[in-house]
Structure 1
Amino acid sequence: MSRWIITLIVFSIIFLFIEIYAFQAIKTLTKSRIIKWVWLLVSLAIYANFLYVIFSTPRSAGQTVNFQLAAGLMLTFLIPKLVLLVIMFGEDVFRVMGKLFSFLSPGETKDFSGRREFIAKIALGIATIPFASFLYGIWQGRYNYKVLKYQLFFEDLPKAFDGFTITQISDIHSGSFTNKEKIKYGVDLINEQKSDVMLFTGDIVNNKADEMDDWIDMFKELDAPYGKYSILGNHDYGDYVEWKKPEDKVANFQAVKDIHPKIGFDLLLDEHRYIEKDGDKLALIGVENWGKGFNQAGDLQKASSQISQDDFKILMTHDPSHWEYQVKQDDFHYHLTLSGHTHGLQMGIEIPGFFRWSPSQYVYKQWAGLYNEFGRFINVNRGFGYHAFPGRVGIWPEITVIELKQGTRDT
């Protein structure tokens, strides 16, 4: 039996188990056949649509908008059912223990039917929270752009750059876009920050260069007086598509790189640039993608080979695992690193200043926001676009504005 068939059987059993327990809540609360049939037919339609999209989409197409919508619907209905599963399964365990207690104590019997109905109501009530959140995330959350501002102090910042501002954007993923009006709003919001320099930290497409064709005119309107600079992300290499010929992948990669000058960005491929102001300068370094466990194309030493250790340095590297494993303790001392990649998994809970959580934190130590170790900073941008899941739940699309200040925070 092939591995693919075994995998299909395993997942079918898992999903069947989830559906059975979720359906228990409906059966407990209503005797209406119409409601039960609607529940079953909607579930079957979502699974059927997901399977149809998977099997009808050639791998050479990459990740399509139809796949994202199918996956989004699956998650929107599946996550609430997982909530039902946990609660109803817990109730079943409680009932079994109760019956066992009654068997061991014949004089005492308890009726749990009323309790089960109450638990089913609670379970459905709780399940509506992720259901509504995912619906909102698909409908509006993916366009709920947030401007996050930081002020960072450095004792060795050149004097002319005191108050210098950086706008960082990341993970455009143009192949996922469907709404020009909303994307135009996001682009205008970036320009409204009026920062001195604009830095883009990778993943301009999902897989193919032509995904950006309809968005070039819009993104070339981005403006910054000291220039716009960019790097590549893991999706820009076309590694997630089954290409018909190796030459097609090579041509696509070149076409992706060609997008950057078309929208006015200077693409850094293991290179540096000096930004000069009033006789002072800072070094901007951009590396190709370097990720822990995959695609380690970036060469930090090559990118920094023509700059001085005494220079004030800003590093652009797409994947924050690069900072964790290579950059943060490097003797060359990279003052500020800018990354993206994680998207904060596009779902989680953030209460600014109090609490934040996302499944992304179990994969990446630095998964969203600003971090400081060894006197060096990294900002992990949550991304401008979205990928795989066509929405955002609690982890909103981000435009970062960083102001550089000379001295210490106490001065």
Structure 2
Amino acid sequence: MIARIIFPIILAIILPEIYFDIYYLRRRYKYRFWRRLLWLLPGILMLVYSVALATIRNFVPDDLKLLNMYLALVGLLVGPKAVFALFSFLGRLWCKMTHSRHNWGNLIGFFACLFGVYVFVYGYTAGFRKLDVNHVDLEFADLPDGFDGYRVVQFSDAHVGTFTGKRKKILLRAVDSINAQKADAIVFTGDIQNIQPSELYPLRGILSSLKAKDGVYSVLGNHDYSAYIKADSAVKVFNEQEIISLERGFGWNLLLNEHRVLYRGKDSLVIAGEENEGVAPHPDKADLRKTLSSVAGGAFVVMLQHDPSAWRRTILPESTVQLTLSGHTHGGQLSLFGFRPTMLMMSEDKGLYEQSGRYLYVNAGLGGVVPFRFGMPSEITVITLHKKK
């Protein structure tokens, strides 16, 4: 994880230190070498910490405490320094352009730092614990009469390896909230783990307690494959088989490019589950034709697909699926004034989308590798299907 962003992190550590040294320390104080070294020591230690995390074999350390401690230091030390230095530098440029003597960038940078620290602290504490239960009503002309009023509860991106220690209560509350909806069917749209199946072992009792009239249906997400660990092929194959075994052991119907038919009298509804259709570096295991093999023409289909980008790429043009449920994006885990970072990468990154009477819903997920959420609470979605009159 850190390896993917190591160069921006290094720049965020080094450049502010250079800026402060040139424009403040050297000019205003006659610092001896040892005093300057003391000032630079936190930055040096952060450089060492960053490089150490960037060189680990897996996507994240086996002990997430190392990552969480690092992110806390970035959020409380590196980030504020970088933000203040940026605004101060821009203010200095403005002073030169306007021949002004007062650098207002310092004041703006100070308040920007305070706001940044607030976002970080809130996001790591109350923000990550917040849970929304969102209700969505959808009408379809071709919905079978027997499924008018059918309730599907969706959750996604549990990343249960993050719910350790006191955070276990957050996952338990989410599962209780899902069961409280009295759903006809519960669906999970992928990413149950961070990087390895052993994360699920302490939580088997909680996850297996999910119950619905027609059962629990799930698919795998990009994190549920072995793309995020460095290991030989035998270990990777074992891990992938283990996650499949665990989900089915919970009593869930894990769908691997396959489907199930549900009945209400003579009427039927199909729940289809396609494996992750990712764009590199994410795994691409999807087979839409196999997933819908033998599905009758005109059947009403609810498709589970972890990656929402598959909706426009393949599901819309190559099928007649009426409703697709996805996750993957976590809604960016951050929303400021309506802006989410995932909006820069995906046209459908959170919420409900429609095209020609066919729908996609992208769930914001329950967790994340990083236990942080600001303005983007964890989400359970209650989708009620209605027959259009």
Question: What is the TM-score with the length of structure 1 in the denominator?
Answer: 0.83
1:312-331 matches, cutoff 5 A: 312-330=300-318
Whether the aligned pair in 1 keeps the contact of 2:127 and 2:373 (CA below 8 Å) is: yes
Does structure 1 residue 347 correspond to structure 2 residue 334? yes
What's the counterpart of residue 93 of structure 1? 93
Whether the aligned pair in 1 keeps the contact of 2:6 and 2:50 (CA below 8 Å) is: no
Aligned-partner Cα distance in 2 for 1:283–1:153: 17
Deviation (angstroms), 1:231 = 0.5
Aligned letter for 1:318? H
What's the counterpart of residue 230 of structure 2? 242
Aligned-partner Cα distance in 2 for 1:132–1:39: 24
Aligned-partner Cα distance in 1 for 2:106–2:255: 56
Does structure 1 residue 369 correspond to structure 2 residue 356? no
Aligned letter for 1:238? S
What's the counterpart of residue 366 of structure 2? 384
Aligned-partner Cα distance in 2 for 1:372–1:227: 27
1:10-409 matches, cutoff 5 A: 12-21=10-19, 43-55=43-55, 57-59=56-58, 64-77=63-76, 78-99=78-99, 112=101, 115-116=102-103, 118-178=104-164, 179-243=167-231, 245-293=232-280, 294-330=282-318, 332-349=319-336, 356-387=338-369, 389-407=370-388
Over 3 Å counting, the alpha-carbon distance change for 1:141 and 1:239 in structure 2 is same
Aligned-partner Cα distance in 1 for 2:11–2:322: 51
Aligned-partner Cα distance in 1 for 2:59–2:170: 29
Over 3 Å counting, the alpha-carbon distance change for 1:267 and 1:47 in structure 2 is same
Q: Secondary structure at the match of 1:240?
A: coil
Whether the aligned pair in 1 keeps the contact of 2:326 and 2:361 (CA below 8 Å) is: yes
Aligned-partner Cα distance in 2 for 1:378–1:39: 52
Over 3 Å counting, the alpha-carbon distance change for 1:223 and 1:127 in structure 2 is same
Aligned-partner Cα distance in 2 for 1:196–1:74: 45
Unmatched tracts of structure 2, length 5 or more? none
Deviation (angstroms), 1:127 = 1.9
Aligned letter for 1:400? T
Asked which structure has the greater CA Rg, the reply is 1
Over 3 Å counting, the alpha-carbon distance change for 1:145 and 1:61 in structure 2 is closer
Aligned-partner Cα distance in 2 for 1:131–1:326: 42
Q: Secondary structure at the match of 1:334?
A: coil
Aligned-partner Cα distance in 2 for 1:134–1:60: 22
Question: What is the TM-score with the length of structure 2 in the denominator?
Answer: 0.87
Over 3 Å counting, the alpha-carbon distance change for 1:202 and 1:22 in structure 2 is farther
Listed one character per residue, the Cα deviations across residues 238-261 of structure 1 (whole Å, up to 9, x for unaligned) are 111000x21111111100101112
Aligned-partner Cα distance in 2 for 1:131–1:12: 20
Whether the aligned pair in 2 keeps the contact of 1:47 and 1:74 (CA below 8 Å) is: no
Whether the aligned pair in 2 keeps the contact of 1:238 and 1:253 (CA below 8 Å) is: yes
Aligned letter for 1:305? S
Whether the aligned pair in 2 keeps the contact of 1:133 and 1:393 (CA below 8 Å) is: yes
Deviation (angstroms), 1:73 = 1.9
Aligned length, in residue pairs: 376
Q: Secondary structure at the match of 1:295?
A: coil
Whether the aligned pair in 1 keeps the contact of 2:59 and 2:195 (CA below 8 Å) is: no
Aligned-partner Cα distance in 1 for 2:119–2:353: 28
Listed one character per residue, the Cα deviations across residues 188-239 of structure 1 (whole Å, up to 9, x for unaligned) are 1111222111000111111111110011111111111111100011111111
Aligned-partner Cα distance in 1 for 2:347–2:236: 32
Over 3 Å counting, the alpha-carbon distance change for 1:37 and 1:344 in structure 2 is farther
Over 3 Å counting, the alpha-carbon distance change for 1:258 and 1:23 in structure 2 is farther
Deviation (angstroms), 1:14 = 5.0
Over 3 Å counting, the alpha-carbon distance change for 1:75 and 1:312 in structure 2 is farther
Instruction: After superposing the two structures, state which structure 1 stretch, 75-84 or 124-133, moved more.
Output: 75-84
Aligned-partner Cα distance in 1 for 2:16–2:200: 39
What's the counterpart of residue 353 of structure 1? none
Listed one character per residue, the Cα deviations across residues 23-53 of structure 1 (whole Å, up to 9, x for unaligned) are 89998xx99x9xx999865555544444444
Instruction: After superposing the two structures, state which structure 1 stretch, 74-83 or 277-286, moved more.
Output: 74-83
